[in-house]
A and B are shown apart, each in its own frame.
Chain A
Amino acid sequence: MKALEITNFKKSYNGNVAVDDISLVIKPGQFYGLLGPNGAGKSTTIHCITGIGRYTEGKIELFGHDVNDDYREARKRVGLAPQEFNVDIFSTPEKTIDYIAGYYGMRKKERKIRVAEVLEQFGLTEHKAKQFKQLSGGMKRRVMLARAMVHDPDFLILDEPTAGVDVELRHELWDHLRALNKSGKTILLTSHYLEEVELLCDTVAIMNKGKIVFEAPMADVTKNGTLEKKYLELTKDEL
């Protein structure tokens, strides 16, 4: 069983190709890094995997479930922390996370325990009753991560999860992600911090102009240089 299988996936916006015929496979338990310059097609791909975006060409499956035809089963297995703060800014972290747990079918008793658990895990307990708009950038990012994890998904998709957070939280988050991956969770990470990807991921793919231009185990990349060197080599025409 593959955690994620993308086959000949294409996506266009008003005639402009955003993702151009990509195929990739992520196995259960992998920590997969997806890199690329802005506009390379990373977020578009993530949106189509999770249901935020629609597509007409290709096939995307999560744990064997087609994300279009069998979307309910597919979505049960995924947690998404997107790049943007797509939250009701007048709601509180506690309520935001509680609603998400509810959408995933968690009953009140179980939800109460689990919400308290993730709030504690991400240092949000004392901020749980504040409005989202009153939180600092780092705290907002923590809410996004707690929200993605509240239903204990098998597959975590983290789109720029450490953008705008301080060094301390970044290190905390890295430890947390390592522990999650060690416990069997599959993680797809996009980041502009190459050292972060190099440090955490076991496999990396680089997208450029809607195509996957490189994919390899991280050990192979670092054996012959650094990830940064490889990245610059493949995307230099964009810089």
Chain B
Amino acid sequence: MNWVGLYTLVRRDIERVFRVATQSLVSPWVSALLYIFIFGFVIGKSIDLIAGVSYLEFVLPGILMMNIITAGFSHTSFGIYFQRFARNIEEVLVSPLSYFEMLVGHVVAAVVRALLVGLGIYVIALLFGAAAIVHPFWLVFYIVSVATIFALIGIIVGLWAKGFEHLNVLNTYVIMPLSFLGGVFYSVEMLPDKLKFITFSNPLFYFIDGLRYSMIGISESNRSIGLILIIGMILVLGGIVWRIFKTGWRIRN
């Protein structure tokens, strides 16, 4: 294992995050602040307790998860696409980093960015008095694993994209709708029985619900299904990305 090379790849990516901190860190913090203030604080005051917790405490894990997903996905999709565009991806291709190290480097940097985004949102939530953590281990697990999944998806999209507009397709038409329909702002109990299955068929529901369990101890899903889904997705997507790096699809001419 080329540890120094791997560390350098992560360091380079993290330095890029701080170089564009307004976009990569401040923007999600401001967005989360607005969500917390409007949905949690202003509207939340008029909503009864859900499963014994305030509405703000109920929506916070969903807001956090939405930003974790966006951070993981944006980091790799935009990062890889820009490296292809500027061709500096070749700096890594000609180096003695293995394909596995390339994969791990990009994913670790995306996870670090997601953790930084998450930490900032947590601090904001603390200011509103709503940042409980019931199961710290599961909190870290869900943040790291979901960021990993979307970092891997971001790599595929960053390689597939033929233009800037392609980078937003998945985010706008898949990730965002699934997040909103994954129980960020509502409890499954609020849905009519006929519509519940839509939420239960949405993978993002299990991610949001898992994080909610780790923060406020409430879960509406079968968490085992969520864990199998997370581990399965990491293995499948990881295998696909490793294969892409090995074959050079859209990277090597």
Cα distance, A208 to B86, chains bound together (Å): 29
Cα distance, A95 to B18, chains bound together (Å): 14
Inter-subunit contact B88/A104 (CB<8 Å): no
- Given A52-B252, A72-B96: A89 and B91 interface contact (C-beta under 8 Å): no
Does A102 belong to the interface (CB within 8 Å)?
yes
Task: List the A side residues contacting B4 at CB < 8 Å.
Answer: 102, 105-107
Inter-subunit contact A86/B86 (CB<8 Å): yes
Inter-subunit contact B95/A52 (CB<8 Å): no
B contact face: mostly helix, strand, loop, or mixed: helix
Q: Beta-carbon contacts of B1-45 to A below 8 Å, as 1s and 0s?
A: 010110111011001100100000000000000000000000000
A31-39, A74-82, A175-183 - the one binding chain B: A74-82
Does B247 belong to the interface (CB within 8 Å)?
yes
Inter-subunit contact A105/B247 (CB<8 Å): no
- The interface centre, meaning the residue of A47, A84, A95, A103 with most chain B CB atoms within 10 A of its CB, is A103
Task: List the A side residues contacting B87 at CB < 8 Å.
Answer: 84, 86
Does A87 belong to the interface (CB within 8 Å)?
yes
Inter-subunit contact A52/B94 (CB<8 Å): yes
Cα distance, A96 to B252, chains bound together (Å): 21
Task: List the B side residues contacting A50 at CB < 8 Å.
Answer: 93-94
Inter-subunit contact B91/A100 (CB<8 Å): yes
Q: How many residues of A contact B (CB 8 A)?
A: 32
Q: A151 CB to closest chain B CB, in angstroms? A: 9
Inter-subunit contact A88/B95 (CB<8 Å): no
Q: How many residues of B contact A (CB 8 A)?
A: 28
- Given A54-B252, A86-B88, A89-B86: A102 and B96 interface contact (C-beta under 8 Å): no
Task: List the B side residues contacting A89 at CB < 8 Å.
Answer: 86
Inter-subunit contact B96/A86 (CB<8 Å): no
Count A-B pairs with CB separation below 8 Å: 81
Task: List the A side residues contacting B94 at CB < 8 Å.
Answer: 50-52, 75, 78, 80
Inter-subunit contact A87/B96 (CB<8 Å): no
Inter-subunit contact B253/A103 (CB<8 Å): no
Query: Pick the contact of A52 from B11, B16, B98, B253 — CB < 8 Å?
Result: B253
Nearest B-chain residue to A98, judged by Cβ: B8
Does A64 belong to the interface (CB within 8 Å)?
no
Query: Pick the contact of A104 from B15, B19, B95 — CB < 8 Å?
Result: B95
Task: List the A side residues contacting B8 at CB < 8 Å.
Answer: 99, 102-103
Inter-subunit contact A90/B5 (CB<8 Å): no
Does B229 belong to the interface (CB within 8 Å)?
no
Task: List the A side residues contacting B217 at CB < 8 Å.
Answer: none
Q: B42 CB to closest chain A CB, in angstroms? A: 39
Does A164 belong to the interface (CB within 8 Å)?
no
Does A217 belong to the interface (CB within 8 Å)?
no
Cα distance, A221 to B15, chains bound together (Å): 51
Cα distance, A100 to B2, chains bound together (Å): 13
8 inter-chain pairs at a CB distance below 8 angstroms, sorted by A residue, are A73-B96, A87-B91, A96-B91, A99-B91, A102-B4, A102-B8, A103-B8, A104-B5
